[in-house]
Amino acid sequence: MKKSTIYQIVLLLVLLVGIIITVVIAALFGIPIIALDKSGVSTAAFDFWSIGHLLVGLAIFIFAFTIGFIHKNVTAPQPNQPPNQPTLIPPDAKDLLLYWVITLITAVVWELVENTLLYLIGVKTKFDSPINISTDILLWCLGGLGSWYITQLMFISKDYIRVYYIYGIINLLMGVVIFIVFGYLTLGF
């Protein structure tokens, strides 16, 4: 089994256990697991913003990977390379793990900014509950892990660049539609 696949399996198990623990803690303390109306938003473990966090996790990983991939392939020496036939260096397991860690760090920083700075300047009117913050970070990481898996698959395909960006566009469009539907169901907008 590839090192990257082992990392993915371990991280998936850790994230799923984290989500289960978060949901159990929410249930034990009487915190809603899913926000079904405005009062549960930012309090419940999952609200309509949760899908946005998952999708941003997908996007942050794609962004980090794209920057890293371009940097690695532009700066890497390629001896004996014909000028019209560039060889792309695929990412290794450490690169992909690094992009996932960037997704995790971005999630933590965002939650700190969202619940301090955005609250102080009045953009956010209600602090997120610790349970909501936890699930938001876990969902960012789960989204990043999904992108990692698709990124790994794309290097098997001969049209990997096209497949990768089609995947990104489909995720974005689905995310917007799902986000609007959940927002309408929860907040009625």
- pLDDT tens digits, one per residue of 38-52: 888 899 999 888 888
What gap in Å lies between CA 91 and CA 102, rounded to an integer?
Answer: 15
Residue 33 pLDDT greater than 70, yes or no: yes
Global pTM value? 0.82
* Model confidence at 67: pLDDT above 80: yes
pLDDT tens digits along 1-12: 688 889 999 999
Q: Which residues contact 26 (CB under 8 A, 6 or more apart)?
A: 32, 33, 44, 45, 131
Question: What tokens appear for 162 in the block?
Answer: 């096209």
CA distance 68 to 103: 13
Residue 172's Cβ-count burial label (10 Å; 0-12, 13-18, 19+) is: middle
- Burial track 71-101 (b if 16+ CB lie within 10 A, e otherwise): eeeeeeeeeeeeeeeeeeeebebebbbebbe
Given a cut of 60, is residue 121 above it in pLDDT? yes
Contact 138, 22 (CB under 8 A): yes
Could you state, in order of their start, the residue ranges of all structural domains in the chain? 3-70+88-187
Q: How confident is the model at residue 75 (pLDDT cuts 50, 70, 90)?
A: confident
Q: 3-class DSSP state for residue 98? A: helix
Distance CA 79, CA 57 (A): 36
